[in-house]
Structure 1
Amino acid sequence: MSTVCYPSSGQVTAAFAAVAKFYGVGVDICPSRRGNRKGVVEKANHSAAQRWWRTVPDGLTVEQAQSGVDKLAVRMDGRRRTLDGVRTTVGDLADAEVLLELPLLPFPAEVSVERTVTPQSLVAFEGNSYSVPPGLAGTRVRVLHRLGEDFLDIVTAGRAVVARHRRALRGAGQIVRDSGHVIALERKVLDSFSERAPCKSKVRRPPSEAALAEAERLREGQAAAASAAERVVIDLSHYAAVADRLRHAPSPKEENQE
């Protein structure tokens, strides 16, 4: 692969040479156009890369996946081999190999990812959020983390460090804020509110001359309507006479006369 060697010459890249030197291993490059040799190398990982991976059910937890890999490793170590006429297994051959001890810390490679600052001045990385100074909302920044270190840096496009935080556990869903960022963010929010410039919709304005004249006209109309209602006199004597006449049903003779 081009990340390991130069395909044209087969020489190992300088970056991967540093990795090989750090772990004390040798690198054997498969020559180009040697399909059989490359196939032998890939066939050794066939069970892990094909049979196990393609049959993994959906919704598997990390613990269940690790248990499946451990069971597969036991089966792969039990594969039989013949070396110098002696029958053995892959596990026995691996145990007989002299291997170096792994370093206590991983190779100091630097992980760099690009992120966008949220309106809350937060940057997401590996399932957690880290604060940056206010005023960077919507800008693109880079999160730098060197393997083996407990801290990460948030830098701008010009590699200027704007924040440095202790790295939280991957996928913990934590919000890591610097105390200085919190104070600066609160100060910026409070500065947007001022008593010197109150809301214009709440300013008390006295009524204009036209409004006062209209109010006076309405008052005069209400007073005139009230005086007219007082002058109306309702006489109920006519209704009383009609009611007395209707109390007695008229005789047939009276009806004929009418």
Structure 2
Amino acid sequence: GEVKLEIDGKLKTYLLAVFTLPYSNYRFARLYESESQVCVLDVHTKFIEHVDFIPAVFVYDNMRTVVKSFVGNEKTITDSMVNLSNYYQFRIRLCQARKGNEKGHVERSVEFVRRKAFASQYSFTSLEEAQNHLLKTLKRLNSRDHHEHKQSHIELMEKEKEKGQKVTMAPFDSADLIECLVDKYSTIVINQNHYSVPEGHVGTYVKAKVGAESIKLFIEGCLVAEHPRNWGVHQWEMNIYHYLDTFKKKKGAIAQSECLRQAPTQIKNIYNDHYIGKEKEFIELLFYIKEK
């Protein structure tokens, strides 16, 4: 489902992924900025990690990230979902088109969770704060008694857990692995967004592990950088510590740089309060912080 939230002063539509267990009516939900395949896989791993067991069957409406094609009444499941179901050993069942009675309680859950979590509060400073608010709301809802069984949803979920398949494997890795060329700005480009790489690697190829929430960069098998995934277009994710040698040679460039604008608030406050006009000492401090 979709939910409109104001994050850091900007109103934007986010995607709300919801799972509901049929017996206990226990609900799990998470916010995403995209409905891409990697996000759908990611929310499955987070749900299974959260409930700590693997349900035998997952029932889906005909989402394009689950159903690859329709030919008459025959439906083909996407390769990624087949890989996920094979990894966790659960079965996939697809609803029939225009049969709302087959998915009633989960269809209701999307509207229910959205209303309970975001009807009264929709403005947050960050997506992480919105996620925490959603988790607190779900914890409160799941602590209430089930209307029929007169036990809390959490207690009923524990009964389902006893009969479910135990999680014995590591979480499924839903990230894509791609190879990128480092450009003259010491960045790589993924989906029209730039991500900084430690300087000294211009013109070389790095491997990027592109997940739903983060991007990890590897050179010769070693992790050299990690950035939050940016779902915008033509955005720059810069780490000030990746450019210290350059700033050492061009001290005046740091004040107006994108790196300083994106630096942690404590770093910006230190510069504005104590180091304006003393860029040389500020860069020495950054070297010290990086080492320590």
Q: TM-score band (shorter)?
A: 0.3 to 0.5
Structure showing greater Rg: 1
**TM-score w.r.t. structure 2 length?**
0.42
**TM-score w.r.t. structure 1 length?**
0.46
